[in-house]
């Protein structure tokens, strides 16, 4: 089993209309250091695709009070990271400063609450500080990207989806199932995939990993995304 992404927290500071986060029944919390270290230990023996782990699930990872220590720890263990954020916390200079000292991939979801003024500040400061942080601006196409300053970043357009509820579910082709990828929730639960908000497709726990095999779960037959590798 390879860990595709880690949920540092399932708290969120946004209420995106297209996401069911506000209906989540799962207990909210922040991943503690012990669970994080254990997860990284597992990562080292079964690295994620391209040795790059996602640091998000159903929550805003930048809310984690020790986020800087977690990101630095991954970099010191030569594990690449990508972190998807709604961008609301980019208004804080200490968050921008912390990110700009790192060299992972920050994915800013432009329609989930990011203020272009703060995105522009980050882009400008990246150039000024010669930061190695990589920035990807992800958009549905609803945001006027001409307002974003020129600089070192990429833009990626995605199609809105229904978090696995409205598709044809060709799930036999999904990498979570056929490459045995999985996600670790903040409490150490290992869950089937990045759509598994409640941890319904639980396949294990980082404290007792053993030999784990991912399997299809409730949303697979209607999943329109089906993560193909």
The least distance separating ligand SF4 from the CB of residue 54, rounded to whole angstroms, comes to 13
Vertex 56 angle, CA 176 and 12, to 5°: 135
Rule CB under 6 A: choose which of 58, 70, 153, 186 binds ligand SF4. 58
What is the rounded distance in angstroms from the CA atom of residue 73 to the CA atom of residue 79? 9
Helix (H, G, I), strand (E, B) or coil at 200: coil
Q: Is 86 in the site for ligand SF4 (CB under 6 A)?
A: yes
Where in 92-111 is the site for ligand SF4 (CB under 6 A)?
none
Q: Is 1 in the site for ligand SF4 (CB under 6 A)?
A: no
Rule CB under 6 A: choose which of 177, 182, 184, 203 binds ligand SF4. 177
Beta strands 154-157; 189-191: pairing state? unpaired
Rule CB under 6 A: choose which of 70, 153, 171, 186 binds ligand SF4. 171
The least distance separating ligand SF4 from the CB of residue 116, rounded to whole angstroms, comes to 17
Residue 52 burial by CB count (10 A; 0-12/13-18/19+): exposed, middle or buried?
A: middle
Q: Is 220 in the site for ligand SF4 (CB under 6 A)?
A: yes
Q: Is 87 in the site for ligand SF4 (CB under 6 A)?
A: no
| Residue corresponding to tokens 């942080």 | 133
Report the candidate in 84, 64, 75, 74 with the shortest Cα–Cα distance to residue 40: 74
Q: By rule CB under 6 A, what count of residues binds ligand SF4?
A: 26
Binding mask 179-218 for ligand SF4 (x = CB under 6 A): -------------xx-x--------------------x--
* DSSP conformational letter for 27: P
| Distance set, CA 29 to CA 40, 61, 66, 89, 195 (Å) | 19, 11, 13, 18, 18
List contacts with ligand SF4 (CB under 6 A). Answer: 12, 14-16, 19, 21, 58-60, 86, 112, 164, 171, 174, 176-177, 192-193, 195, 216, 219-220, 223, 225-227
């Amino acid at each position: 089993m390879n860990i595709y992404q880690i949920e540092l927290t399932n708290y969120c500071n946004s209420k995106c209309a297209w996401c069911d986060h506000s209906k989540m029944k799962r207990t909210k919390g922040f991943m503690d250091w012990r669970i994080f270290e254990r997860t990284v230990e597992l990562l080292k023996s079964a690295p994620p695709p391209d040795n790059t782990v996602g640091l998000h699930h159903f929550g805003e990872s930048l809310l984690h009070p020790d986020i800087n220590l977690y990101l630095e720890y991954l970099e010191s263990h030569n594990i690449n990271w990508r972190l998807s954020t709604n961008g609301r916390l980019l208004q804080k200079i200490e968050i921008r400063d912390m990110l700009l000292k790192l060299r992972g991939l920050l994915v800013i979801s432009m329609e989930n609450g990011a203020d272009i003024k703060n995105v522009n500040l980050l882009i400008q400061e990246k150039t000024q500080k010669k930061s190695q942080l990589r920035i990807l601006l992800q958009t549905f196409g609803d945001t006027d990207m001409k307002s974003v300053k020129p600089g070192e970043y990429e833009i990626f357009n995605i199609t809105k989806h229904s978090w696995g509820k409205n598709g044809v579910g060709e799930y036999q082709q999904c990498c979570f199932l056929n490459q045995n990828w999985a996600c670790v929730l903040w409490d150490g639960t290992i869950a089937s995939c990045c759509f598994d908000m409640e941890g319904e497709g639980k396949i294990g726990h980082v404290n007792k990993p053993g030999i784990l095999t991912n399997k299809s779960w409730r949303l697979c037959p209607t999943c329109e995304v089906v993560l193909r590798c």
